[in-house]
Amino acid sequence: MTFMALYDADLHLHSPYSIAVSKNISLETLNKTAEIKGIDILGTGDITQPNWRNYMRENLKKSDGSWKFKKTSFILQTELEDNESIHQLILLPDFSSVDALVEKIRPYVKNIDGRWSGRPHVHRTPEELVEIVSDVNGLIGPAHAFTPFKSIFRQGKFNLLREAYGTAVKKLAFLELGLSADSYLADRMEELQNITFLSNSDAHSEGLDAVGREFNRFFIEEPTFNEIEKALFRKGNRKVNLNLGLDPRLGKYYQMFCSKCRRRVLRSIQIKNQNKEMSEKKKAVSNYLNIFGFPLKSWDDTFLYYEFPTKQREQQFLKLVAKKKIECEACRKTICNDPKHKKNSKIPHLQLGVSERINDLATWDKPHHPKHRPPYLRMIPLIEILAKIFKIKTLKSKTLLQHYQNLISEYGNEFYIIIDLDLESAKKKFKASPYEKVFRTIQAFRNDEITITPGGGGKFGEISL
Q: Would residue 398 count as lying in a domain? A: yes
Contacts of 319 (CB under 8 A, 6+ apart): none
User: How many CB atoms within 10 Å of residue 406?
Assistant: 12
Q: What is the DSSP letter of 295?
A: B
Tell me phi and psi for residue 239, to 5 degrees. -170, 165
d(CA 370, CA 189): 11
27 and 129, same domain (yes or no) = yes
Q: Is the dihedral of CA 220, 222, 223, 224 positive or negative?
A: negative
299 and 206, same domain (yes or no) = no
Q: Which domain holds residue 386?
A: 382-458
Closest by CA to 210, choosing from 219, 220, 200, is 200
216 and 267, same domain (yes or no) = no
In the three-class reduction of DSSP (H, G, I as helix; E, B as strand; rest coil), residue 23 is classed as coil
Q: Would residue 440 count as lying in a domain? A: yes
CA geometry: angle 79, 81, 84, nearest 5 deg: 150
Using the predicted structure, report yes or no on whether residue 219 has a pLDDT greater than 80. Answer: yes
The residues pairing with 282 across neighbouring beta strands, listed in sequence order, are none
Q: Would residue 137 count as lying in a domain? A: yes
Helix H or strand E segment including 299: strand 296-299
36 and 78, same domain (yes or no) = yes
Q: What is the pLDDT of residue 278?
A: 41
Q: What is the pLDDT of residue 285?
A: 40
> Pairing state of beta strands 5-10 and 41-43?
parallel
85 and 232, same domain (yes or no) = yes
Q: What is the pLDDT of residue 342?
A: 64
145 and 277, same domain (yes or no) = no
CA dihedral 412, 415, 420, 423 (to 10 degrees): 80
Q: Would residue 357 count as lying in a domain? A: no
Q: How far is CA 202 from the centre of its chain?
A: 7
Using the predicted structure, report yes or no on whether residue 293 has a pLDDT greater than 70. Answer: no
Closest by CA to 224, choosing from 139, 146, 291, is 139
Question: Which of 17-31, 292-306, 376-390 has the least mean pLDDT?
Answer: 292-306
> How confident is residue 268, by pLDDT bands cut at 50, 70 and 90?
confident
Question: Which of 27-36, 226-235, 327-336, 349-358 has the least mean pLDDT?
Answer: 327-336
In the three-class reduction of DSSP (H, G, I as helix; E, B as strand; rest coil), residue 241 is classed as strand
> How confident is residue 343, by pLDDT bands cut at 50, 70 and 90?
low
Summarised one tens digit per residue, pLDDT across range 229-258 is: 999 999 999 999 999 999 999 999 999 999
Residue ranges of alpha helices (H) inside 13-94 are 27-37, 50-59
125 and 219, same domain (yes or no) = yes
Number of domains in the chain: 3
Buried b vs exposed e over 352-378: b needs ≥16 C-beta within 10 Å? bbbbbbbeebbeeeebeeeeebbebbb
Contacts of 419 (CB under 8 A, 6+ apart): 217, 242, 244, 377, 379
270 and 222, same domain (yes or no) = no
Q: Would residue 399 count as lying in a domain? A: yes
> How confident is residue 281, by pLDDT bands cut at 50, 70 and 90?
very low
Closest by CA to 86, choosing from 52, 51, 130, 53, is 130
d(CA 87, CA 121): 9
Summarised one tens digit per residue, pLDDT across range 198-217 is: 999 999 999 999 999 999 99
302 and 434, same domain (yes or no) = no
Using the predicted structure, report yes or no on whether residue 77 has a pLDDT greater than 80. Answer: yes
345 and 389, same domain (yes or no) = no
Q: How many residues does the chain have?
A: 465
Q: Would residue 94 count as lying in a domain? A: yes
Instruction: Report the amino acid identity of residue 21.
Output: V
Tell me phi and psi for residue 70, to 5 degrees. 55, -120
d(CA 166, CA 160): 10
143 and 283, same domain (yes or no) = no
d(CA 442, CA 430): 14
Q: Is the dihedral of CA 350, 351, 352, 354 positive or negative?
A: negative
The CATH number of whichever domain residue 43 belongs to comes to 3.20.20.140
> Pairing state of beta strands 72-81 and 41-43?
parallel
Q: Would residue 92 count as lying in a domain? A: yes
Summarised one tens digit per residue, pLDDT across range 126-185 is: 999 999 999 999 999 999 999 999 999 999 899 999 999 999 999 999 999 999 899 999
225 and 371, same domain (yes or no) = yes
Instruction: Report the amino acid identity of residue 228.
Output: I
Q: Would residue 115 count as lying in a domain? A: yes
> How confident is residue 336, by pLDDT bands cut at 50, 70 and 90?
confident
Q: What is the pLDDT of residue 296?
A: 81
Using the predicted structure, report yes or no on whether residue 283 has a pLDDT greater than 60. Answer: no
Mean per-residue pLDDT of the chain? 92
